[in-house]
Amino acid sequence: TDRYNYPEAYLRAKIIGILGGRAAEEVVYGTKTTGAESDIEQATDLARNMVTRWGMSDKLGMVQLSPRQNAFLGGAGGADKPYSEATAQLVDAEVQRIIQESHAEALRLLAAHRGVLDALVRALLDKETLDEREILDVTGLPPAPPLETRPLSRVE
């Protein structure tokens, strides 16, 4: 099913997942490689949209700072940002904060569940691909819960 309305917690979890490969390199090998290039790009784009399009920054609030891109016409075509340099610096700081917090959480989760990570690696070395059931069996993890859907708060 296509979804068009994602809660902030879901987007943050997605960034944590995207950065999991880089975090795993750091946890397992104690180093960083160029292999995370695409992941970093995806995570940064998502965090930037959270800040500039979807009002998910307390520091910047609910102000659209980046227009929706027209798939046919492409992006802004190098046009100037529609905001000040001070705002641009705040946008960059907020994007960086989201990425850093997400990366720290990915590192924390992998370190806390290192045994599960190692079990998964062993299974992947035995069998090149695993389906969801096999992953759950190998790791002993429960299936992911469905996305929470909370009713909107009522103002009384």
Q: Give the residue among 126, 91, 101, 125 at the shortest CA–CA distance from 23.
A: 101
Q: Are 47 and 99 in contact (CB under 8 A)?
A: yes
The pLDDT-based confidence of 2 (bands split at 50, 70, 90) is: low
The pLDDT of residue 71 is 47
Which range, of 1-5, 37-41, 131-135, averages the lowest pLDDT?
Answer: 1-5
Q: Mapping DSSP to helix (H, G, I), strand (E, B) and coil, where does residue 120 land? A: helix
Asked if residue 16 lies in contact with residue 109, where contact means CB atoms within 8 angstroms, the answer is yes
pLDDT per position as a tens digit, 115-150: 999 999 999 999 999 999 999 999 998 888 776 654
Average pLDDT over residues 6-11: 93
Q: Hey, how many other C-beta atoms are within 10 angstroms of the C-beta on 128?
A: 6
Mean pLDDT value of segment 15-25: 96
Q: Mean pLDDT, to the nearest integer, of 67-75?
A: 56
**% of the chain surpassing 90 pLDDT:** 71
The answer to whether the predicted template modeling score (pTM) of the entire model surpasses 0.95 is no
* Distances 126 to 27, 32, 63, 113, 139 between C-alpha atoms, Å: 22, 25, 50, 20, 14
Given a cut of 70, whether residue 81 has pLDDT beyond it is: yes
Could you tell me how far CA 17 lies from the centroid of its own chain? 6
Say if CB 18 and CB 46 are below 8 A apart: yes
Q: Which residue would you say has higher pLDDT here, 71 or 101?
A: 101
Answer whether residue 156 shows pLDDT above 80. no
Supply the mean pLDDT for the chain: 87
Cβ contact 35:122 at 8 Å: no
